[in-house]
Amino acid sequence: MEQTNKINVSGIQFEWNLDKGQFLFEGEDAILFWISSAMKTFFDTIEEISGEEASNLVFEATGFRQGLVVGDYFSNMKEVSVEEAATLITNTYASAGWGKTLIQDLNFETHTLTALLKDSWEHKINQTQGKTMGGNYLPAHYAGIFTAMFGTNIWYKVNCYQLEGNEYTKVEYFPSDVTVSENIHLLARKKESQQIIQLEALVEDKTRELKSLVKELSSPIIPVLDEVVVVPLLGTYDEERSEELVFKTLTNLPSYKASYLVLDLTGLNKNISGHTVSLIEKIGSAASLIGTDTILVGISAELSMVISESEINLSKFDCFQTLQHGIYYALSALGRSII
């Protein structure tokens, strides 16, 4: 038989099911941590990995977005006003060990309010960490709550922290264009701007090297036998790569005295577009103008479907299933054979 313990504190229901290892807070799964040890370690680790400035933004963004979830929940309680919801929220949080919060000067018309936070878990963690300035998780959290409840973006300003020797942490809330997403972007630009510049320069250098390498290796012209060259088409061809392929092929065909150009389509990307079909037709037609016949080999089922659905006619080119067959055909047409 399952062992269940329940207790009601100021109308808030707590429940433990030890057989399941489960703690319920108002019927929802919850979890308990020691503030000055386990939670402190959690915060310390994030700050150690991310750095103080980035971790502050992590706590702020997390607090705000979790506040949106809470605000949405209470906004759906149609029979409860914003003032009543604010009281319910602060009482619920107090019962969960979040400290005491007083909401003052709440004005639904101007979407403004003031919150006084005393002995919050965040304050206790910051105190244990030996900090001299309070955190921004809870200030941002209430901004998220009232953003959802007011239906407009709310931001905050901390007037003073309890950690500085004041009785409360005092936070003012007001409509604002400031968003956590914008703050994340600003921090990233501020903290990483120099590294980004260096990285962009490195990427630009490597891109030039890579493009040069791709030009050398992509779709090479392979003279397999006298008057027969093979050009394998590899991967995906955008406009720049297509132009490079056409120029390279047509420029080099005369130097090989090629009578036959075998285009091997086996290595084309499976996501074939009409642009690829147009590229094939363009190479073949241009090659014929300089006296080179084109043979197509390795046409996949996907490519054959794209070809049949396009308005481009490739039937003027001889087509074979494999590269071997295409080369044999070219040699036969030249009156030669492999012995």
Confidence (pLDDT) at 306: 83
Where is pLDDT greater, at 132 or 189?
Answer: 132
Q: Tell whether 129 is covered by a domain.
A: yes
What is the DSSP annotation of 68-98? Answer: HHHHHHHHT-TTS-HHHHHHHHHHHHHHTT-
Q: Tell whether 92 is covered by a domain.
A: yes
CATH number at residue 52: 3.30.1380.20
Are residues 56 and 130 located together in one domain of the fold? yes
Q: Tell whether 207 is covered by a domain.
A: no
What distance separates the 2 farthest-apart alpha carbons in the chain? 101
% pLDDT > 70, the chain: 93
- Per-residue CA distances from 310 to 206, 234, 257, 306 (Å): 37, 21, 32, 6
Q: Tell whether 23 is covered by a domain.
A: yes
Confidence (pLDDT) at 276: 83
Mean pLDDT score of the chain, rounded to an integer?
87
Please list the alpha-helical segments (H only) found in 29-51. Answer: 40-50
Mean pLDDT confidence for 234-259: 86
Confidence (pLDDT) at 205: 81
Please check whether residue 67 is in contact with residue 137, taking contact to mean a CB–CB distance below 8 angstroms: no
pTM of the model: 0.56
What is the tally of structural domains in the chain? 3
% pLDDT > 90, the chain: 44
- Per-residue CA distances from 273 to 152, 235, 257 (Å): 45, 12, 32
**Residues pairing with 8 in the sheet:** 13
Are residues 61 and 18 located together in one domain of the fold? no
Residue 296 burial (CB < 10 Å; 0-12/13-18/19+)? buried
Cα torsion for 237, 243, 245, 248, to the nearest 10°? -170
* Cα 226-232-234 angle, rounded to 5 deg: 165
- With bands split at pLDDT 50, 70 and 90, how would you rate the model's confidence at 301? confident
Q: Quick one: the chain helix, strand, coil %, rounded to 5?
A: 50, 20, 30
- With bands split at pLDDT 50, 70 and 90, how would you rate the model's confidence at 110? very high
Are residues 54 and 163 located together in one domain of the fold? yes
Are residues 27 and 41 located together in one domain of the fold? no
Confidence (pLDDT) at 153: 95
Are residues 42 and 161 located together in one domain of the fold? yes
Bridge pairing between strands 154-160 and 169-175: antiparallel
Rounded Cα–Cα distance for residues 75 and 191 (Å): 37
Are residues 250 and 288 located together in one domain of the fold? yes
Rounded Cα–Cα distance for residues 106 and 113 (Å): 4
Are residues 131 and 149 located together in one domain of the fold? yes
Are residues 170 and 45 located together in one domain of the fold? yes
- 336: Cβ contacts below 8 Å, ≥ 6 apart: 225
Candidate from 83-87, 185-189, 306-310 with smallest mean pLDDT: 185-189
Of 118, 153, 178, the domain-final residue:
178
Whether 219 shows a pLDDT value over 70: the answer reads no
Q: Tell whether 196 is covered by a domain.
A: no
Are residues 235 and 159 located together in one domain of the fold? no
Where is pLDDT greater, at 106 or 191?
Answer: 106
**Strands across the sheet containing 154-160:** 100-107, 112-118, 169-175, 154-160
Tokens of 297: 């080999």
Are residues 54 and 66 located together in one domain of the fold? yes
Q: 239-252 vs 274-289: helix axis angle to the nearest 10? A: 20
Confidence (pLDDT) at 225: 85
Buried b (16+ CB within 10 A) or exposed e, 82-113: beebbeebbebbbbbebbebebeebeeeebbb
Confidence (pLDDT) at 190: 64
Are residues 74 and 156 located together in one domain of the fold? yes
Rg (CA), the chain: 35
Are residues 103 and 74 located together in one domain of the fold? yes
Where is pLDDT greater, at 81 or 196?
Answer: 81
- With bands split at pLDDT 50, 70 and 90, how would you rate the model's confidence at 50? confident
**Strands across the sheet containing 12-17:** 4-9, 12-17, 22-25, 28-30
Whether 28 shows a pLDDT value over 70: the answer reads yes
- Structural domain that includes position 278: 218-333
Q: Tell whether 5 is covered by a domain.
A: yes
Q: Tell whether 198 is covered by a domain.
A: no
